[in-house]
Amino acid sequence: MRIVCIGGGPAGLYFALLMKKNHPEHHVTVVERNRPYDTFGWGVVFSDATMDSMTKWDPESAAIIKDAFNHWDDIEVLFKGTRQRTSGHGFVGIGRKKLLNILQARCEELGVELTFETEVNSDLDFPDADLVIASDGFNSRVRNAYTEIFQPDLQQRPNRYIWLGTNKLFDAFTFDFRKTDHGWFQAHIYKFDDQTSTFIVETTEDAYLAHGLDKADQDASIAFCENLFSEVLEGAPLMTNARHMRGSAWLNFNRLICGKWSHFNGQSHVVLMGDAAHTAHFAIGSGTKLAIEDAIELTNQFQIHGHDADQIPAVLSDYEDIRRVDVARIQNAARNAMEWFEVVGERYADTLPPEQFMYSMLTRSQRISHENLRLRDADWLEGYERWFAASSGLNVEADKRSLPPMLTPFTARGVTLKNRIVVSPMAMYSATDGLIDDFHMVHLGSRAMGGAALVFAEMTCVSPDARITPGCLGLWNDAQKDGWKRLADFVHANSGAKLGCQLGHAGRKGSTKLAWDGIDQPLENGAWPLISASALPYLKTSPVPKAMDRADMDRVKADHVAAAIRAAEAGVDWLELHCAHGYLLSSFLSPLTNRREDEYGGSHENRARFPLEVFEAIRAVWPEDRPISVRLSCHDWSEGGNTPDDAVIFARMFKDAGADLIDCSSGQVWKEEKPVYGRLFQTPFSDKVRNEVGIPTIAVGAISEADHANSIIAAGRADLCAVAKQYYSAKAQYENNLERAAR
Ligand SMILES: Cc1cc2nc3c(=O)[nH]c(=O)nc-3n(C[C@H](O)[C@H](O)[C@H](O)COP(=O)(O)OP(=O)(O)OC[C@H]3O[C@@H](n4cnc5c(N)ncnc54)[C@H](O)[C@@H]3O)c2cc1C
Ligand SMILES: Cc1cc2nc3c(=O)[nH]c(=O)nc-3n(C[C@H](O)[C@H](O)[C@H](O)COP(=O)(O)O)c2cc1C
C-alpha cells in the first residue's frame, strides 16, 4: 500500500512508524510543513497506561521516550496564601520537540519517507495513495475540505489561555490560583525536561477583557503573567515560542467532535486522526495521548483485517467504531475538568476553604474518586478526612481512624442528621385512602433502621385531588396524621434516623393508574378533575387540567398549610416541598408548562410567585427549629425548558424565602424530554446550586456506592446524598454494575 500522512505531529509520525514496522513493504510518507526541529508548544504529559501500550507496539521508541521522560508524583496547589501538596499521582512529561524528534528518528530508521517544509494543499495531491491520513492537527485543511462528510462540531469555550514556558524547574505538577481586581487567574505548571517547565495561564473572558489583555501582545502578556505569578516564579522569566502569532497571544480552547472520520475522495481513502478528528482540553492533558492511541488502533485494525488495500474500508470502519467510544470517554472527563476551570473563580475559589478547594480540584474530572485518592496518597486523604470531620463538628482523636465524609453529621436549624445519607422520596402506590399502614411502617421503618440519617416517605398529597394515584399517601385528615405519628414514634424509638415528609400536589400528572397498571395513564374509574399552571395535558391522552385561578391557589395553599401543621403535630422532623417532576408547583416553574399571561407566568419572578407563596405559608406554620428543603427539577432536558441556570435563580429565591436546602433532581416535567443519564448525572446541578447560591444541597440520581457519596460530600458538591431505587427498579442498574465489574 501507499500511505501518506499529511502532518508530522505525534499522530502522523507514530502511525507511519507502526505501519512501516509491521509491514515494511508499504510505502509510507509523512509530509510536514515545518522544519524537523521547528515546533510550537512546550511539554506534553502522558499517563503510565499510554506508555505501556507504546511499549507493546514499539519497544524501541518507547525505551528512548521513557528515558527522556520526567516523572513526577506530586500535585501542589497554591491558593489564598496556602501551599498544599499530595503525592502518588504519577505523570510523565516530555518536551513536544523531543518527542517529535524521537519519532522522526525512528521513522527514518524504519524507512518512512519524511518530507519537511512542504505545505500540503489537498488530499487530492496524492493520486497514487491508497490511504491518506489527515493528521494535520486541529485546523486540518483536509477535514475542512469535506465538512459535509466529516460534520465537524466545534465549540469554542469561554476561557482564555496563553501557553508559556519557564526555566524555573518545578518538582510537582503545580497549580497557582491568583485573584486580581477583575477576577481569578490560574497557572498550570509542570516540568518536562532538565531546563524547562510548561506554564499555561488561564482566565475568564471577563477578566481577560477587564485587564486589557485583548490588546496585549506576547511581551505585554508575559509581563502581566510574570507580575501576577511572581511568588511562584521567584524571579524566573516566562518565555514564549509562539512569536509568529499576531494580535493577542491569548487563545480560546475549541472542543471538536466529528460525525464521521473517513471518506473516499475518488482516488484514495482519507481518514482523520488525532487533533484533526477530536480535541480534549489541556486540563487533563490528553491530546497527545489520544493522537498516539488513534495511531495504535488504526494499525491494530490492519493487523486484524490484513495489510491489504482491499481491507481499508473495513479497517477504517472498525477503527472509527472503537476509537469513538474511547475518545468520548476522555472528552467527557476533559469536559468536567475544563468546566471546573471555567467556573473555578466565583464558584469554588471565592467560596470553598483551601482544604476543600484542593479536594474539589483533584476530583474535578469526576474520574478520581475518594477511594482512588486513598490509593494515591492515604496520609493526605486521612488528613483531609480529619479536617472535614472537624469542620462538621466532630473531633476525631489522633489515635483513631478518621471518618469517611458521608458518616459525618449535618445540622440544619435544630435538626442534626447523624450522617449524610438520605432515603429519597419514592411513591409506593400502596396506600388506601392516603393512610400509612403496615406496608409503610415496615418499608420506611426498615429504611430507618438500615442506617440512613433521614428517611423521606413518598410524596404526601395535601388533598384527595392532589394525589398522583389512588394509592398515594396523604395528609389531609387526622386519621392520616395518626398514621404519621405512629411512624414517627417508631422511627424515633428504634433508630437514630429523622423522618421527612415531602408535601406535594400532583397537578396535571394526577388522577392516574397505579404504577404497575400503567405509569401516567389516566384513571378509567374514579378519576378526579385536574388543575395546573396552564391548561396543558401531560400526555395526549391525559385529561386537560384547569388553569388555576386565585380561588384554586388559595385552596391549594391552605391545604399545604393544614398538611404542614399535621406533619408537625405528628412529630415529623423535616419537611420538603415538592417543586419538581412536573407536579403542580413545578408546572408553575417551567416555561414549558406555564403559559400564563398574568403575574404567575412569564419571568422567573412570576413563575416562582405561587410556589413561593406556598413555601412562605408552610414556613410560617412549620416549627422554627425544623428545616424545610425544596425539591427542584434543575434541568427540564427539553428545548425551551428550564436549565441549571434557571435552577440557580429559583434556588436563590427559595433561599431568600427561608429554605434550608435545595434537593437537586431533574426532569419528568415534559414528556418529550431527552435526559442524559449516567453515573452521578444530576450531581453537577447540586454542585452548581450549592456553590453559586450558597445554600446546602441534596444530590440525588444514580449515586450507588459509598465511594460516590464520599466524593460528593468531601468535594462540597452537596451536603447530603439521597438514594432511591431499591427493589425492582434498581435491578437493571445492579446487573449492569455486576457485568462491568466482571469485565
Ligand atoms: C495549551 C495546550 C496544552 C497542551 N498540553 C498537552 C499536554 O500536556 N499533553 C498532551 O498530551 N497534549 C497537550 N496538548 C494537545 C496536543 O498538543 C495535541 O493534542 C497533539 O499534538 C495532537 O497531535 P496531532 O498529531 O493530531 O496534531 P499536531 O500535533 O497539531 O500535528 C499536526 C501537524 O500537522 C502539520 N500540518 C498542518 N497542516 C499541514 C499542511 N497543510 N501541510 C503540512 N503539514 C501540516 C503541523 O505543522 C503539525 O506539525 C496541548 C495543547 C494545548 C493547546
Ligand atoms: C418508584 C419511584 C418513586 C419515586 N417517587 C418519588 C416521589 O414521590 N417524590 C420525589 O420527589 N421523587 C420520587 N422519585 C425519585 C427519587 O426520589 C430519586 O430522585 C430518583 O429515583 C433518582 O435517584 P436514584 O438514582 O437513587 O434512584 C421516585 C423514584 C422511584 C424509582
Q: What is the DSSP string of 435-462?
A: B--HHHHHHHHHHHHTT-SEEEEEEEES
Distance (angstroms) between ligand 2 centre and the Cα of 513 equals 17
**What is the SS3 assignment for 123?**
helix
Q: Which of 534, 471, 465, 556 is nearest to 506 (CA)?
A: 465
Q: What is the Å distance from ligand 2's center to 581 Cα?
A: 10
Residue type, 184: W
Please tell me if the CB atom of residue 324 comes closer than 6 angstroms to any atom of ligand 2. no
Residue closest to 183 by CA, chosen among 201, 158, 204? 204
663: left (phi over 0), alpha (psi -120 to 50) or beta: beta
Distance CA 523, CA 506 (A): 14
Q: What is the CA(9)–ligand 1 centre distance, in A?
A: 6
| Closest ligand, as measured to the CA of 283 | 1
pTM: 0.89
- Cell 517547565, residue? 197
Distance between start and end Cα atoms, the chain = 37
Measured between alpha carbons, how far is residue 200 from residues 9, 76, 161, 323, 339 in Å? 21, 15, 7, 28, 16
Q: Indicate the angle between helix axes 354-362 and 378-391, nearest 10 degrees.
A: 130
Orientation angle between helical segments 59-68 and 48-57, nearest 10 degrees: 140
Alpha carbons within 13 angstroms on the beta-carbon side of residue 711 total 24
- Choose one of 6, 31, 44 to mutate for the ligand 1 pocket test, by most ligand atoms within 8 angstroms of C-beta: 44
Q: Is 578 in the pocket of ligand 2 (CB under 6 A)?
A: yes
Residue 443: CB within 6 Å of ligand 2?
no
Residue-level pLDDT at 548: 98
Q: How many Å apart are CA 232 and CA 701, to the nearest integer?
A: 41
Answer for the pair 238, 226: CB distance below 8 angstroms, yes or no: yes
Q: Would the CB of 120 count as within 6 Å of ligand 1?
A: yes
Instruction: State the pLDDT at residue 396.
Output: 79
- Cβ(663) to ligand 2 under 6 A? no
Q: What is the CA radius of gyration of the chain?
A: 30
Kindly tell me the burial class for residue 671, based on how many C-beta atoms sit within 10 Å of its own C-beta (0-12, 13-18, 19 or more). middle
Separation of alpha carbons 104 and 203, rounded Å: 35
- Ligand 1 nearest-atom number relative to CA 276: 26
- Residue 729 Cβ inside 6 Å of ligand 2? The answer reads yes
| Cβ atoms 146, 272 nearer than 8 A | no
CA of 138, closest atom in ligand 1: 30
Q: Which ligand is nearest to the CA of 282?
A: 1
In this structure, the residue with its CA closest to atom 23 of ligand 2 is 701
Which amino acid would we find at residue 114?
L
Per-residue model confidence (pLDDT) at position 41: 65
129 lines ligand 1 (CB under 6 A): no
Examine the residue annotation and report whether 583 is marked as an active-site residue of this protein: yes
Q: What is the pLDDT of residue 247?
A: 64
Strand intervals (E) in 80-196: 82-86, 91-95, 113-115, 131-134, 152-166, 173-180, 183-191
Q: Which atom of ligand 1 is nearest the CA belonging to 200?
A: 1
Q: Is 289 in the pocket of ligand 1 (CB under 6 A)?
A: yes
Q: How far is the CA of 96 from the centre of ligand 1 (A)?
A: 9
The values of phi and psi at residue 341, to 5°, are -70, -25
Contacts of 257 (CB under 8 A, 6+ apart): 152, 153, 278, 331
Q: Does residue 291's CB lie within 6 angstroms of at least one atom of ligand 1? A: yes
Distances from the Cα of 456 to the Cαs of 629, 724, 729, in angstroms? 11, 10, 18
Which of 537, 551, 552, 544 is closest to 505 using CA atoms? Answer: 552
At residue 727, the pLDDT reads 59
Ligand that lies nearest to the alpha carbon of residue 273, given by its number in the listed order? 1
C-alpha cell of 686?
447540586
| Model pLDDT for residues 322-344, shown as the tens digit of each residue | 999 999 988 888 888 899 999 99
For residue 271, the one-letter residue type is V
Q: Determine the 3-state secondary structure of 712 from DSSP.
A: helix
State the Cα–Cα distance between residues 503 and 614, nearest whole angstrom: 11
Grouping H, G, I as helix, E, B as strand and the rest as coil, residue 646 is helix
Closest-lying ligand to the alpha carbon of 702? 2
Q: Give the Å distance between the CA of 216 and the centre of ligand 1.
A: 25
Residue 123 beta carbon below 6 angstroms from any ligand 1 atom: no
Question: Which residue is catalytic, options 583, 677, 727, 728?
Answer: 583
Q: Would the CB of 723 count as within 6 Å of ligand 2? A: yes
Substitution site in 190, 272, 288 for ligand 1 pocket (most atoms within 8 Å of beta carbon): 288
Residue (of 133, 128, 111) closest to 1 by Cα position? 128
Nearest CA to ligand 1 atom 26: 274
| Cα(424)–Cα(475) distance, integer angstroms | 19
* Share of the chain residues as helix, strand and coil, in percent rounded to the nearest 5: 45, 20, 35
**Ligand 1 atom having least distance to the Cα of 7:** 34
Cell of 279: 480535541
702 lines ligand 2 (CB under 6 A): yes
Alpha carbon distance 555, 533 (integer Å): 14
- The alpha carbon of 642 and the centre of ligand 2 are apart by a number of angstroms equal to 20
Residue 733 CA, closest ligand 2 atom number: 25
Q: Specify whether the backbone of 609 is left (phi greater than 0), alpha (psi in -120 to 50) or beta.
A: alpha
> Measured in angstroms, how far is the CA atom of residue 701 from the centroid of ligand 2?
8
Q: Whose CA is nearest to atom 45 of ligand 1?
A: 7
Query: Which ligand approaches the C-alpha of residue 192 most closely?
Result: 1
565 CB near ligand 2 (under 6 Å): no
pLDDT of residue 726: 63
Ligand number nearest to the C-alpha of 734? 2
Spans in the chain with pLDDT lower than 50: none
Ligand 1 centroid to Cα of residue 158, in Å, is 21
Q: Is the CB of 453 under 6 A from ligand 1?
A: no
